[in-house]
Structure 1
Amino acid sequence: MSLSNDIWEIPAQTTDIEGLDAQGRPDPAYAQAIGLVPARAGMRVMATVLELIVALLVSIPGAVAGVNAMLLSTADPGAFLARKDLIWLLLPPLVSFVLMFVFTLVQLVLHGLKGVTLGKAAFGIRTVNVRTLEKPGFWRGAVVRYLILAVSFVVPLIGPLLVVALSPLFDAERRGRGWADRAAATWLVDVRRGLNPYDAKRMRIARKQITTEVHEAAPVLPSLATPVDRDAPAVYVPTGRFSGGVVGAHRATAPTPAVSASAPGVPAPVAPTPAVPAPAVPAPATPVPAAAAETAVQVPAAGAAPAAWQPPEIAPIVAAPAPAAAAPAATPVPDAPRAVLVIDNGERVEVRTATLIGRAPAAGAGDAPSSVAATGEGEPQLVRVSDETRSVSKTHLAILLSRRGVVVVDRGSTNGSSIVREGAELPLTPGHPAELRAGDVLRFGDRSLRVEQA
């Protein structure tokens, strides 16, 4: 039985390269936006001259000894081969050749993997692939480029001057790319005046700033403190009860106007008592003395005859209903975790209270945003995550408990955070809570965690 070849075909894996235009060509505006600066022509020439000087210093002893040996061998070959010091005559050229070979090989390897050579390191220049802005590669980025430079020396002085110094001036993109750079698909950048493309952390941040909206400052959250001045306007109205008690705004009371008695024989008015909320269960009725039930009387206007005083009406006393029997106390339920997080290194974290995640998390003001009614009790849980690249901030995330579920808040981290849910990635806005669900993947810096239960 034969099978069709179509079922064995594997779709090609394509990787999107940032910094290319619609035609797939390198975009100079993208490189300039992330902070890459082209190397100046003078620095390029000086770096090449420095490498040539080192190569000449390595090869001069061997060349002088080799010329001397050639002259002696042509005069009398038999006598030359019979010399007892023949090994000493051939040793300098051999050592010079080995040193020159090692120097060239090291230059090629460093240039292909790190984009740096002796001259480029001295003058702050790095070589990158013009498309990916990463290492140029060994064969095309290093070997092809140096072969073109070596061929240019066939025409002394004029060839190197044309290839190294003059050809970058004809670059239509004005990035200083010469003929050798075009053949090798390389680009020389200045790391002293611009971004170093081999600094992985800074390069990653620069690329993110192009595609992600940068928040200049964290949003200002309202204060949770009760104002000291009782007549100050209310700023925050509480939505729940915290472990420290009810925190919220005060209620200002209106001042009571003073009333003076102007007519003789009229009893002084009693100041009205501020209204207080009625208790949930009314207290048993008790006799009320008549003196305490008197209310304030109005003072007659000037010139009018005083009205006869009448005793105020007293409301009939109604017996209060019997208090309801207290409900039996509920049996305490064990504190179950509200969420279970699995960090990418396999560590499991059970969330029972507010949890702070970072390289060196520390509790501070602003752990619970005003838009979330936190229900966690006690001190926050601190989860330390190791990160050698320092892409994770000291206090990167806050996992909070609310009435609606479990939420996450980005604490204004440097590299940001995002939630991956059903294949879509949602960046987190610093200071704004986002609901977590079971199965979500939370990325923060170069680390990640998975929500196993929420």
Structure 2
Amino acid sequence: MGDAAPPGRVDPQRPRGGTVIWEIQDETRKVEGLDEHGRARPDYAASLGLLPAPFGRRAAATLVEVLVVLVLQLPLLLAVLPAAIELTRASDPQAALAARGDLVLLIVCAAVSYALTAAFLITQLVLHGRRGVTLGKALLGIRSVNVRTLERPGFWRGAVLRYLVLWGSFLLPLLGPLLVVLLSPLFDPERRGRGWPDLAAATWFVDIRRGLNPYDAKRMRIARKTVASDLADERSELPSLATPAGERRPEVYIPVARSSGGVLGATRVDSAAVPAPTAAPAPAAGPPAPASTPAPAPAPTPAPIPPVAPPAASPAAVPEPAGAPRPPASPGTWAPPALLPDAAAPATITLVLDTGDAVEVAGAGVLLGRAPAADDGLVPTPVLDRTMSVSKTHLAVRRDGEALFVEDRGSTNGSALVRGGAERELTPGERVPVHDGDTIRFGDRFAEVRIARG
């Protein structure tokens, strides 16, 4: 077949039978949260819920790891170091070393200390590069990520290079660690507390106790989708079906509500741009007046009359049938308004999915999932989910008269109810009441609840 096509190219393949299979290979990846210069934006990370780790806890995590290294070095410090000092004071160090009866024990102590320390440091480097965590950071709720991608920092640059810069500062006793470890985070231009080792390794330490854990794949995926949808809603200019098409009346679009299925809006007429209303045309001339009667002067335009309350309907009045045409109102008479829907009419409950599809909740309710089976009289409603975040039988939306309840059916990725910007996780098997305007999250999918009457 030849070499593979470069990224972004279409690679045609013709297998046996003459059918052409087109494979689109696009390996380019768009990194979110970067400015026009390719630098990470702190506001994007903050919008996801990532918070910088405080300096005090970072220092405490480093202190914990240093204490562990000292404990591993105890055999070397307690046995080998005093013997080495004693040998340096002897007149013939080689003879004194050969005369010692504990020479094998000293060699074993030194080997054990070095082996344990090397194993601990290598484990620290691997964990830091692969999972952004070390022993001290795990105990104090800190994780390390790549500052651009907000993912794992990487082994060579994120872990090895950072520790080389950090330990290289000890070549200048006292002043080197003071400048590199303690003072350099104060000069971070982004005010994230990143020191020179972090700038060299492109790493950033985040606090998972107060903020989002960047290694929680499900939460990060939901946070990225939420931020992306919010940005798309802010930037997109969606037309309104409620905007009149008149050329002489400029309108201003006012968004009233927003959902994944579109935008509900109203219009506001700019009073400054609307021309003044013209006088009403004179009524048609009646029969000719007698010649002796002078023509009356034109009457001035009357002031607007406040609306008059409609008269109460008499008990014997028969209501008009629905849809019957109404005669045009004569000038000066009050025209009755259109009838409002009856408040006692049954409510129509609709779930508007994030794809714009609408699912009506009728009868006992519906059962959402990738391939749900009918249960408890609920109508099975399959939901397409290419990410496989929705379980086979994920969520039940039950209807009890005019009340609506939602129930998680033991799904893998869980469900939540979002109301007023606050998200509440649903306990499997628990029925939670749902109101109009609430948003239901099941897996990575969303559904908005709309309740209407009439």
What TM-score comes out, normalization by structure 2 length? 0.52
The one of 144, 152, 166 equivalent to 1:149 is 166
Q: Contact between 1:127 and 1:136, CA under 8 Å: does it hold in 2?
A: yes
The one of 414, 418, 439 equivalent to 2:441 is 414
Q: What residue in structure 2 maps to residue 193 of structure 1?
A: 210
Q: Contact between 2:147 and 2:203, CA under 8 Å: does it hold in 1?
A: yes
Count of residues in Structure 1 that have an aligned counterpart in Structure 2: 286
Q: What residue in structure 2 maps to residue 378 of structure 1?
A: none
Q: Per-residue displacement from partner, 1:382-427 (whole Å, max 9, x unpaired)? A: 999764332588799xxxxxxxxxxxxx994225776xxxxxxxx7
Q: Aligned pair in 2 of structure 1 residues 236, 52: CA closer, same or farther (>3 Å)?
A: same
The one of 13, 18, 31 equivalent to 2:27 is 13
> Are residue 181 (structure 1) and residue 202 (structure 2) matched?
no
Q: What residue in structure 2 maps to residue 441 of structure 1?
A: none
Q: Contact between 1:356 and 1:383, CA under 8 Å: does it hold in 2?
A: no
Over the aligned positions, Cα root-mean-square deviation in angstroms equals 4.6
Q: Contact between 1:108 and 1:138, CA under 8 Å: does it hold in 2?
A: yes
Q: Secondary structure at the match of 1:188?
A: strand
Superposition deviation, residue 170 in structure 1: 0.8
The one of 120, 125, 130 equivalent to 1:108 is 125
The one of 372, 375, 379 equivalent to 1:354 is 379
Q: Contact between 2:440 and 2:447, CA under 8 Å: does it hold in 1?
A: no
Q: Contact between 2:72 and 2:116, CA under 8 Å: does it hold in 1?
A: yes
Give me the whole-angstrom Cα distance separating, in 1, the residues matched to 2:198 and 2:343: 64
Task: Kindly provide the amino acid, as one letter, of the partner of residue 53 in structure 1.
Answer: L
Give me the whole-angstrom Cα distance separating, in 2, the residues matched to 1:3 and 1:120: 45
Give me the whole-angstrom Cα distance separating, in 2, the residues matched to 1:23 and 1:367: 55
Q: Contact between 1:412 and 1:431, CA under 8 Å: does it hold in 2?
A: no
More strand by share: 2
Q: What residue in structure 1 maps to residue 362 of structure 2?
A: none
Q: Secondary structure at the match of 2:205?
A: strand
Q: Aligned pair in 2 of structure 1 residues 430, 93: CA closer, same or farther (>3 Å)?
A: same
Q: Aligned pair in 2 of structure 1 residues 23, 84: CA closer, same or farther (>3 Å)?
A: same
Q: What residue in structure 1 maps to residue 413 of structure 2?
A: 389
Q: Contact between 1:110 and 1:116, CA under 8 Å: does it hold in 2?
A: yes
Q: Contact between 1:144 and 1:183, CA under 8 Å: does it hold in 2?
A: yes
Higher relative contact order (CA 8 A, sep 6+): 1
Task: Kindly provide the amino acid, as one letter, of the partner of residue 123 in structure 1.
Answer: L
Q: Contact between 2:169 and 2:177, CA under 8 Å: does it hold in 1?
A: yes
Superposition deviation, residue 77 in structure 1: 1.9
Q: What residue in structure 2 maps to residue 50 of structure 1?
A: 64
Superposition deviation, residue 191 in structure 1: 2.0
> Are residue 87 (structure 1) and residue 104 (structure 2) matched?
yes
The 5-angstrom pairing of residues 397-408 of structure 1 reads none
Task: Kindly provide the amino acid, as one letter, of the partner of residue 414 in structure 1.
Answer: R
What TM-score comes out, normalization by structure 1 length? 0.52
Q: Contact between 1:108 and 1:143, CA under 8 Å: does it hold in 2?
A: yes
Q: Aligned pair in 2 of structure 1 residues 383, 205: CA closer, same or farther (>3 Å)?
A: closer
Q: Secondary structure at the match of 1:149?
A: helix
The 5-angstrom pairing of residues 130-141 of structure 1 reads 130-141=147-158
Q: Aligned pair in 2 of structure 1 residues 206, 151: CA closer, same or farther (>3 Å)?
A: same
Q: Contact between 1:362 and 1:395, CA under 8 Å: does it hold in 2?
A: no
Q: Contact between 2:369 and 2:395, CA under 8 Å: does it hold in 1?
A: no
Task: Kindly provide the amino acid, as one letter, of the partner of residue 15 in structure 1.
Answer: R
Q: Per-residue displacement from partner, 1:197-253 (whole Å, max 9, x unpaired)? A: 2223332332232123599999xxxxxxxxxxxx9983366799xxxxxxxxxxxxx
* Structure 1 runs of 4+ with >4 Å offset: 2-12, 71-74, 213-218, 236-240, 341-344, 347-353, 366-369, 382-386, 391-396, 415-418
Superposition deviation, residue 45 in structure 1: 2.4
Identity %, equivalent residues: 45
Task: Kindly provide the amino acid, as one letter, of the partner of residue 413 in structure 2.
Answer: T
Q: Secondary structure at the match of 1:153?
A: helix
Q: Which consecutive residues of structure 2, in runs of 5 or more, have no partner in the other structure?
A: 13-23, 234-256, 261-318, 320-339, 349-366, 383-392, 418-425, 429-436
Superposition deviation, residue 78 in structure 1: 4.2
The 5-angstrom pairing of residues 284-323 of structure 1 reads none
Superposition deviation, residue 109 in structure 1: 2.0
The one of 140, 152, 164 equivalent to 1:123 is 140
Superposition deviation, residue 131 in structure 1: 1.0
Superposition deviation, residue 110 in structure 1: 2.0
Q: Which consecutive residues of structure 1, in runs of 5 or more, have no partner in the other structure?
A: 219-230, 241-340, 370-381, 397-409, 419-426, 434-454
Task: Kindly provide the amino acid, as one letter, of the partner of residue 342 in structure 2.
Answer: A
Q: Contact between 1:58 and 1:99, CA under 8 Å: does it hold in 2?
A: yes
Task: Kindly provide the amino acid, as one letter, of the partner of residue 47 in structure 2.
Answer: A
Q: What residue in structure 2 maps to residue 212 of structure 1?
A: 229
Q: Per-residue displacement from partner, 1:295-339 (whole Å, max 9, x unpaired)? A: xxxxxxxxxxxxxxxxxxxxxxxxxxxxxxxxxxxxxxxxxxxxx
Q: Aligned pair in 2 of structure 1 residues 108, 366: CA closer, same or farther (>3 Å)?
A: farther
Superposition deviation, residue 155 in structure 1: 1.1
The 5-angstrom pairing of residues 32-51 of structure 1 reads 32-51=46-65
Q: Aligned pair in 2 of structure 1 residues 13, 236: CA closer, same or farther (>3 Å)?
A: farther
Q: Aligned pair in 2 of structure 1 residues 387, 179: CA closer, same or farther (>3 Å)?
A: same
Give me the whole-angstrom Cα distance separating, in 1, the residues matched to 2:159 and 2:102: 40
